Chains A and B, each alone.
Chain A
Amino acid sequence: MEIKICIGSACHLKGSYDVIKKCQNYIKEHNLSDTIELKSAFCLGRCSEAVSVQVNATEIFSISPETAEGFMKLMHQRTEL
């Protein structure tokens, strides 16, 4: 699974840095580096719903540093399906 976190202007202001840190920590804690690849991206075109996160180059989610961990849990479950 590929997860792309937007680091464009709007998302950066809404906390891309913290979102990335939280996602990286989750991956580390659950040993998921082989199944989930974390990347960054410039503007995903959903600036008004920052922070935008794209999964497998299709679905775009709107998450925040507070919801990042929950989002990762959801993605974690998906990889196990």
Chain B
Amino acid sequence: MEGMPHYIDISSHSLNKYGEELCGDKVEVVKGNKRTIVVLADGLGSGVKANILATLTSKIMITMLEHGADLKETIDTITNTLPICNVRKIGYSTFSILDIDDCLNARIIEYDNPPAFIVRDGELISPEKSMIRSGDKNVWVTEFELKLNDEITLCSDGVIHAGVGVMLNHGWEWEHVGSFIAEQEISSADKLNRRLLETCNRLYDGRPGDDATVVTMRVRKPEIAQILTGPPDHKAKDTITIKNFMNQSGRKIVCGGTAANILSRELDREIVTDIEYIDPFIPPTAKIKGIDLVTEGVLTLKMALTKLQSINECCEEPIFNKKDGVTKLLKLLIEESTHVHFWVGRAINPAHQNPDFPKDLSIKINIIRDIEKELKKMGKFVQIFYTD
């Protein structure tokens, strides 16, 4: 599998036990060039105590593994470090580790968490497992080679216990969660993650009886969104900027009226703006042949940013079925891209210098940087290029 272009799309979200401020599950992710490591730890109990146990476990493990420590050594360190619970006289946290190298060799290491769900071509698969012992712990290791579009889901037991004794006699159960995951035809790890947790939350009737955490990983084909926003400061650079932009691979998006006009002029392709508003607050979009989406700039971007921030504050699945510029942009970014490249020009728009123009909109680059921050939280690879 070496050399095959792929992107390890990872997402993790948690539901806190009802009434708890802290989550007793903790996820750590390290994404390097050569290796991706994820640790999900579920601390004993709930609240502060569980949170401390899970944080210690996940942080120690990810740090040791990242620096090349041996697996057994890592597990022993956990056993010898965790504080002992006064009530239960044990120091305990379950864990699942997912370790993927750049040739897509995957290793899953599991201790007392629900077994990982591995989905290939819409079917659950169960590669062979081997057991290693560390002290009194039986730790299961699965090693196999991943293929494009394979999906691995790790979860804490709060997920498979969802609805126990309330909506369901035995909770959601591993097999049911497994077939639910296998049935979903979703390419974005984040979308799948949110769908699972939202379902989980419904089964708990909005009052989770335990912390529930889901980590989803999907091997995706890299999908790039190229976003041109704002023309260069020097008119002389228009031609080369547009040429470079058009030569990039991936979907092309233009966010900005002036940039769109320049692109239309340089490519000699007609720009047709819509006159009908889908939402009175959102400027209409436009069409240019060969460009996937053309929107107004700063207002659309600002509204997209606000929406991204609110999406990142919760773990519900966002629905993008409206057809306005903001929704279309978000759908492209969140669901259809793994990489987002912004092409930013430094030209100053005279209108934005008008004292009447809202101050927080006057510096577009600040909005782009904030969008970058939110997209990175969603596991996207974001880059900003200056066209001058």
Contact = CB atoms under 8 A, between A and B. Distances in A.
B358 A13 contact: yes
Contact of B299 (A5, A12, A39, A47): A12
Contacts of B273: 7, 39-42
Given A40-B275, A42-B257, A42-B260, A10 B357 contact: yes
Contacts of B357: 10, 13
Interface string B28-70: 0000000000000000000000000000000000000000000
B350 A9 contact: no
Contact of B350 (A38, A39, A40, A47): A47
B275 A8 contact: no
Contacts of B358: 13
Given A9-B297, A10-B357, A13-B358, A43 B275 contact: no
Contact of B351 (A7, A41, A48): A48
A53 interface: no
A10 B351 contact: yes
Nearest to B298: A9
A7 B278 CA distance: 13
Contacts of A39: 273, 275
Is chain A's interface secondary structure helix, strand, loop, or mixed overall?
A: mixed
Interface stretch (B123-131, B144-152, B191-199, B280-288): B280-288
Contact of B349 (A5, A9, A20): A9
Size class of the contact patch on chain B? 20 to 34
B296 interface: yes
B257 A8 contact: yes
Nearest to B353: A48
B133 to A, nearest CB: 64
B299 A43 contact: no
B180 interface: no
Contacts of A13: 299, 357-358
A29 to B, nearest CB: 18
Contact of B283 (A9, A48, A50): A9
Interface in B356-378: 357-358, 361
Given A12-B299, A40-B275, 12 more contacts: A8-B283, A9-B349, A9-B351, A10-B354, A17-B280, A42-B257, A42-B271, A42-B296, A43-B257, A43-B258, A48-B350, A50-B351
Interface of B: 257-258, 260-261, 271, 273-275, 277, 280, 283-284, 286, 296-299, 349-352, 354, 357-358, 361
21 contacts: A6-B257, A7-B257, A7-B275, A7-B284, A8-B257, A8-B258, A8-B283, A8-B296, A9-B257, A9-B361, A10-B354, A13-B299, A17-B277, A20-B277, A38-B275, A40-B275, A42-B258, A42-B260, A43-B257, A47-B351, A50-B351
